[in-house]
């Protein structure tokens, strides 16, 4: 099977973590035996490239002859649709949830982008979303052609190591609780303020706490941040299927989260963490409950907590089945009624 991946986010030398989850999915598809070519859209070229990229994608279709196109992010459908081969699109969160200035206020520009995404979804053979919450936001016709396919996690990179070793690596104190927090891009919707208030509440109660904020951290260093943490805090206003939650679980680190995105479906047991209300007192209660009942020795390698369905290989197999279904449907559409493929004429 030949797949042309179009994406507005993909790692570069200047931004090695930008769209790294798309690159990892491409690698998992290749390991599953598929031939994949990647065409980047927009990015450093600017927003106008959503239109200019049509010629580059058309050339890839002529030369690579893909069976289908897999567009990543809603607006990437603009140059991917109408290229003579079926396309599927993966939505990641902002493209269907909208972007916020903080505390749930969606910007006007983002509302227009969401509307464009909903219209573009009408042309897609399948619409893939990160969570059931995102799926519920789709217009009915797209929802009927949708699948929930979160990004898979590479367990070769995100794997457990002793907590003490990780703390030494990051020069962190061995005493007290370390609460991890991923502040990707410093977006207001990540709610660093709520994580800080939670840490302050725990300190007020007499706990020794270090809030370990990961921002502008290299790809190679991120696993150490998860491994060093007793738990990961997730306090965002808006999410699809946050990769940091799955990456932390793969490193053996449980989660304390507000109910956002698909986190309640991922953190589905007491072993994997706690889901609680969106306020510092409730989050502090959940941290104390989790860490007070299940402390991990610093010299112990904890088990991976990642659900098997979220391993990169499992997601690649799910995508392969979706692709095969799209191609089978296309074959039925072009075959004359009552005949089998190859019998016409």
35-63 pLDDT, tens digit per residue, is: 999 999 987 888 899 999 999 999 999 99
Q: What is the 3-state secondary structure (H, E, C) of 148-216?
A: ECCCCECCCCCCCCCHHHHHHHCCCCCCCEEEEEECHHHCHHHCHHHHHHHHHHHHHCCCCEEEEEECC
pLDDT tens digits, 9-42 = 999 988 888 899 999 999 999 999 999 999 999 8
201 Cβ neighbours under 8 A, 6+ residues apart:
280, 281, 283, 284
- Give the mean pLDDT of 155-183: 95
pTM for this structure? 0.86
Per-residue CA distances from 42 to 24, 55, 75 (Å): 20, 13, 10
The model's confidence at residue 337, banded by pLDDT at 50, 70 and 90, is low
Residue indicated by tokens 């396919």: 149
Computed over every residue of the chain, the mean pLDDT equals 92
pLDDT at 2 over 50: yes
Q: Quick one: pLDDT at residue 106?
A: 72
Residue indicated by tokens 């009408």: 122
Task: Please check whether residue 82 is in contact with residue 51, taking contact to mean a CB–CB distance below 8 angstroms.
Answer: no
Per-residue CA distances from 192 to 195, 207, 234, 302 (Å): 5, 20, 9, 27
> What percentage of the chain has pLDDT greater than the value 90?
77
């Amino acid at each position: 099977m030949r797949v042309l991946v179009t994406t507005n986010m993909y790692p570069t030398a200047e931004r090695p973590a930008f769209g790294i989850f798309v690159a990892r999915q491409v690698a998992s598809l290749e390991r599953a035996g598929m031939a994949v070519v990647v065409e980047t859209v927009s990015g450093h070229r600017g927003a106008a490239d959503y239109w200019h990229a049509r010629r580059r994608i058309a050339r890839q279709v002529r030369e690579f002859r893909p069976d289908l196109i897999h567009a990543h992010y809603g607006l990437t459908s603009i140059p991917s649709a109408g290229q003579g081969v079926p396309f599927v699109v993966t939505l990641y969160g902002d493209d269907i949830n909208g972007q916020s200035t903080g505390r749930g206020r969606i910007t006007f520009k983002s509302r227009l982008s969401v509307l464009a995404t909903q219209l573009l979804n009408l042309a897609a053979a399948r619409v893939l979303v990160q969570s059931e919450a995102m799926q519920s936001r789709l217009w009915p016709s797209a929802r009927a052609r949708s699948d929930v396919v979160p990004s898979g996690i590479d367990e070769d990179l995100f794997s457990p190591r002793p907590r003490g070793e990780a703390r030494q690596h990051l020069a962190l104190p061995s005493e007290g609780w370390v609460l991890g927090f991923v502040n990707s891009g410093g977006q207001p919707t990540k709610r660093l303020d709520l994580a800080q208030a939670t840490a302050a509440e725990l300190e007020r109660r007499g706990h020794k706490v270090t809030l370990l904020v990961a921002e502008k951290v290299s790809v190679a260093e991120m696993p150490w941040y998860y491994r060093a943490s007793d738990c990961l805090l997730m306090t965002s206003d808006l999410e699809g299927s946050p990769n940091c939650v799955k990456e932390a679980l793969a490193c053996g680190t449980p989660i304390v989260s507000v109910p956002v995105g698909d986190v309640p479906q991922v953190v589905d047991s007491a072993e994997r963490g706690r889901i609680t209300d969106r306020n510092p007192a409730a989050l502090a209660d959940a941290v104390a409950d989790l860490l007070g009942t299940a402390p991990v020795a610093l010299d112990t390698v904890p088990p991976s907590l990642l659900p098997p369905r979220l391993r990169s290989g499992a997601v690649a197999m799910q995508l392969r089945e979706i692709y095969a279904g799209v191609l089978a449907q296309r074959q039925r559409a072009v075959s004359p009624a009552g005949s089998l493929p190859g019998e016409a004429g």
